[in-house]
Amino acid sequence: MPVSKLDTVVRQVATDKLITRTEAKKIISAVKESPGKKPIDDVFKAIDKSGAAIETGATRLLLSELDQKMTRAEWVSYAQKATSPAGLWGPSGEGGKSVKRADLPPAVKKIFDKWTDSEGSPNVTKLDVAGKDVFLFDQYSEFGTSFGAFDEAGKAIELKEDTTNVRRNAKRTQAKYDAVFKQPEMAAWAKSIQHTELGVIINYRENASSLTGTARTAASSADVKKAERDMRATLKTGAELELFKNTKDGSFLLVGTPASHSGAAEYAHFSKAGKLLASYSLEP
């Protein structure tokens, strides 16, 4: 399909500057209607033009569903994109298939045996990159988690961070928090959010104290209690709700975090008199 048309499709699914697995399916459908000679190259060039970040699962889906002729070096580059760490986090198994030792190719099975020690065996995830398998290893020990990636012949693939995507995702996350915490009415809470190259560091205690016991009871106005009920209904069982009091202006911030610590967190901002000022939902 003409690159200009592909650009249009990508822009349509990347209006929030993030391409998800669901949106990747739309890109794949569009490409398969009129595939070009280099569909993988075309897709990632279009994503670069859009300036959007792309989720790991979306990257892996694109690379598993599309194919093209490429050199070994080009294939390794895409394999590295599929296995990219993200800052302090190693590559996840998202979008891959867990593989047991018995189902590994002989060369990879030997690597599995070398990784196996008194603390156990590695976890292996198989990824499809343009029709060829990549085997992603991870193994936990008391010193941390080790990662490695190998092709079917057992050749190591260097784990290399997709810095452009990491920065785009960090910028997108920062913009979401800035849209809330840089508002004039949230000025007293602005220092709670600190930007880094990897995204945001959240520290509400930078200029606030967490309320517990009688202090929290005293601050639980009718509006605060209602917000707590609403958050629990939204976040479901196991949600963590914490109430902070700002040391600068005396306002309150109720923060609700899902039990899984993934997905959107809920926020409610109250005046020092306990009146609800605004509610927000932020998904990192």
Q: Are residues 168 and 156 in the same domain?
A: no
Average pLDDT over residues 263-271: 93
E-strand stretches of 120-239: 123-129, 132-141, 144-151, 193-196, 199-202, 208-210
Residue 36: strand, helix, or coil: coil
Residue reference for tokens 């917000």: 227
**Domain annotation covers residue 74:** no
| Average pLDDT over the chain, rounded to an integer | 92
E-strand stretches of the chain: 18-19, 53-54, 97-98, 123-129, 132-141, 144-151, 193-196, 199-202, 208-210, 240-246, 252-257, 265-270, 276-282
Residue 187: strand, helix, or coil: helix
Residue 4 confidence (pLDDT): 66
- CB environment 26-57: b (16+ within 10 A), e (fewer): ebbebbeeeeeebbbbbbbebbeebebbbbbb
Residue 220 confidence (pLDDT): 96
Give every CB contact of residue 83 below 8 A, 6+ residues apart in sequence: 91, 127, 134, 136, 149, 157, 159
Residue 283 confidence (pLDDT): 79
Q: Are residues 95 and 155 in the same domain?
A: yes
178, pLDDT greater than 90: yes
Residue 221 confidence (pLDDT): 97
Q: How many domains does the chain have?
A: 3
CA distance readout (Å), 258 to 26, 49, 140, 255: 29, 34, 25, 10
Domain closes at, from 160, 176, 208:
160
pLDDT band at 88 (very low <50, low <70, confident <90, very high): low
Residue 126 confidence (pLDDT): 98
Q: Per-residue pLDDT tens for 109-160?
A: 999 999 998 778 999 999 999 999 999 999 988 778 899 999 999 999 999 9
Q: How far is CA 183 from the centre of its chain?
A: 25
197: domain range?
164-282
Tokens describing residue 93: 């198994």
Query: How are beta strands 97-98 and 53-54 bridged, if at all?
Result: unpaired
**Domain annotation covers residue 203:** yes
**Phi (first) and psi of residue 126, to 5 degrees:** -95, 130
pLDDT band at 3 (very low <50, low <70, confident <90, very high): low
Residue 189 confidence (pLDDT): 95
Q: Are residues 196 and 142 in the same domain?
A: no
Half-sphere exposure of 20 (CA within 13 A, CB side): 5
Q: Are residues 154 and 171 in the same domain?
A: no
Instruction: Report the range of poorest mean pLDDT among 107-121, 158-172, 190-204.
Output: 190-204
**Phi (first) and psi of residue 91, to 5 degrees:** -65, 140
Distance CA 31, CA 27 (A): 6
Tokens describing residue 102: 């018995």
231, pLDDT greater than 80: yes
Percentage of the chain beyond pLDDT 70 is 97
Q: Are residues 225 and 121 in the same domain?
A: no
Residue 198 confidence (pLDDT): 67
Residue 106: strand, helix, or coil: helix
Q: Are residues 149 and 129 in the same domain?
A: yes
Domain closes at, from 160, 179, 201:
160
Residue 199 confidence (pLDDT): 75
Q: Are residues 178 and 236 in the same domain?
A: yes
Residue 35 confidence (pLDDT): 76
Instruction: Report the range of poorest mean pLDDT among 11-15, 211-215, 267-271.
Output: 11-15
**Domain annotation covers residue 51:** yes
